[in-house]
């Protein structure tokens, strides 16, 4: 995406946040944002971009609740680059087709909702819906809205901004509390370690995971047959922590904040939509801070962030899931050998799944990440994936608990609500 287009996109997000803060009616927010843009864009493109930033691709009323689909094309913004456009080249599932005029169309049956085409499109003509205004309205209407932050949040808001300052900033926005999704990762790590042990004991060849990556799960299940049956049935750490929060607090609303556009789709799936009420990317959250004139660097009060283990936090980059689960397996059954392989990006994931289908993969544990680098390489991030991975590891080292299995906070919460919180799913 061209830098000029990226700046325009973020400006619109900021304006949505700024006006949603003072206006309760979303139609009024739309009108105010359109007036703020003025003649900067032609009317048709401006309307499409602003409406997407308010959660809809359609004309008419701005919705209070956002729903499928989450990715679409702004026809007026497309320059018609054709087969050579980065959006087409980036789409490994071949869900983007090129029309006769050189503009793209999206085959939603093939799309895995990774969102990588959005940042690849030079003109920003492919876009996603946001829930910025819906989140702000929910905070204004509900006293107990929890922010759950993905493990990749470490370092995203600049080298001079600590994780504690990010939490403080979120509380200043009006969130009731801020919880690490890595706490949910600790619970899922133990569950998947136990599942791996059961599978090996019964003679399975593999266990395929990356419950935290919906595009990879969808890709793996598209193979059907042998491979589909080897995919772990775990919900994602996002869904897990949201369900435990709601089990603990019956009045809770939950907003997930992370690097992933695919989480917007995951959160609305029928069997999962009880968990997360809204999803924001780091890019969208940064725009909200800007719209509210909150400078994280200047915050002196720094609320502690102590929910998760080292291993739960490293879910944010490729290899982290493997390290966490293998560590717990070793604690439970040290005689079991974990022979792991990781798919770093959709292209590598497809190669691994093809090798499983052919029967020539020398491994018994498969981790897949749709984005190169893992979640730190997601389309909703603010910094390069290499910087993100370093920040994640540094934050993980600060945890007082090394292994997920040793996190007493996770164990207490799990034991308290395990009979009413479902951690299995056949999503996607």
Q: Alpha-carbon distance 96 to 403, whole Å?
A: 41
- Quick: pLDDT tens for 383-397: 999 999 999 999 999
Q: Alpha-carbon distance 305 to 392, whole Å?
A: 13
Torsion of CA 5, 11, 14, 20, to 10 degrees: -100
- Quick: pLDDT tens for 282-324: 999 999 999 999 999 999 988 999 999 999 999 999 999 999 9
Q: Which CATH number fits the domain 3-133, given the four candidates 3.40.50.300, 3.30.70.20, 3.40.630.10, 1.10.1030.10?
A: 3.30.70.20
Instruction: Please name which of 370, 312, 318, 311 lies closest in space to residue 340, comparing C-alpha atoms.
Output: 318
* Size of the chain in residues: 428
Question: Which residues make beta-bridge pairs with 304?
Answer: none
Distances from the Cα of 219 to the Cα of 112, 125, 208, 215, angstroms: 7, 25, 12, 6
- Quick: pLDDT tens for 77-128: 999 999 999 999 999 999 999 999 999 999 999 999 999 999 999 999 999 9
Instruction: Please name which of 379, 357, 373 lies closest in space to residue 120, comparing C-alpha atoms.
Output: 379
Q: Alpha-carbon distance 251 to 238, whole Å?
A: 18
User: CATH 3.30.70.20 occupies which residues in the chain?
Assistant: 3-133
pTM of the model: 0.97
Peptide bond into 69 cis (omega under 30): yes
Q: Are 185 and 212 in contact (CB under 8 A)?
A: yes
- Quick: pLDDT tens for 334-389: 999 999 999 999 999 999 999 999 999 999 999 999 999 999 999 999 999 999 99
Q: For helices 181-201 and 237-248, what crossing angle results, to 10°?
A: 120
């Amino acid at each position: 995406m061209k830098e000029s287009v990226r700046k325009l996109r973020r400006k619109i997000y900021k304006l949505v946040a700024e006006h949603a803060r003072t206006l309760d009616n979303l139609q009024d927010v739309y009108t105010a944002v359109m007036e703020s843009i003025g003649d900067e864009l032609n009317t048709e493109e401006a309307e499409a971009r602003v409406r997407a930033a308010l959660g809809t691709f359609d004309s008419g009323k701005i919705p209070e609740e956002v729903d499928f689909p989450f990715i679409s094309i702004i026809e007026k913004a497309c320059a018609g680059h054709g087969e050579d456009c980065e959006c087409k080249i980036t789409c490994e599932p071949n869900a983007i087709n090129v029309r006769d005029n050189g503009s793209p169309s999206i085959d939603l049956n093939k799309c895995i909702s990774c969102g990588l085409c959005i940042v690849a499109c030079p003109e920003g003509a492919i876009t996603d819906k946001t829930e910025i205004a819906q989140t702000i309205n929910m905070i204004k209407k509900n006293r107990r809205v929890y922010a759950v932050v993905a493990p990749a949040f470490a370092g995203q808001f600049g080298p001079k901004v600590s994780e504690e300052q990010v939490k403080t900033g979120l509380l200043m926005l009006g969130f009731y509390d801020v919880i690490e999704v890595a706490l949910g990762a600790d619970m899922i790590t133990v569950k998947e370690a136990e599942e791996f042990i059961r599978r090996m004991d019964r003679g399975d060849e593999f266990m395929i995971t990356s419950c935290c990556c919906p595009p990879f799960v969808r890709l793996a299940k598209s193979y059907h047959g042998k491979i589909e049956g080897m995919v772990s049935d775990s919900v994602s750490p996002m869904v897990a922590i949201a369900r435990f929060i709601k089990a603990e607090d019956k009045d809770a609303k939950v907003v997930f904040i992370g690097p992933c556009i695919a989480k917007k789709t995951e959160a609305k799936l029928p069997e999962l939509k009880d968990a997360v009420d809204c999803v924001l990317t780091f890019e969208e959250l940064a725009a909200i801070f800007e719209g509210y004139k909150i400078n994280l660097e200047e915050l002196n009060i720094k609320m502690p962030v102590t929910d998760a283990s080292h291993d739960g936090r490293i879910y944010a980059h490729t290899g982290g899931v493997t390290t966490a689960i293998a560590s717990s397996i070793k604690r439970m059954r040290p005689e079991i050998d974990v022979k792991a392989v990781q798919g770093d990006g959709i292209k590598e994931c497809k190669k691994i799944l093809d090798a499983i289908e052919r029967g020539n993969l020398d491994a018994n544990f498969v981790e897949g990440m749709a984005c190169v680098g893992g979640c730190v390489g997601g389309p909703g991030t603010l910094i390069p994936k290499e910087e993100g991975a370093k920040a994640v590891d540094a934050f993980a080292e600060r945890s007082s608990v090394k292994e997920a299995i040793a996190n007493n906070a996770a164990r207490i919460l799990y034991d308290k609500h395990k009979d009413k919180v479902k951690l299995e799913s056949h999503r996607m």
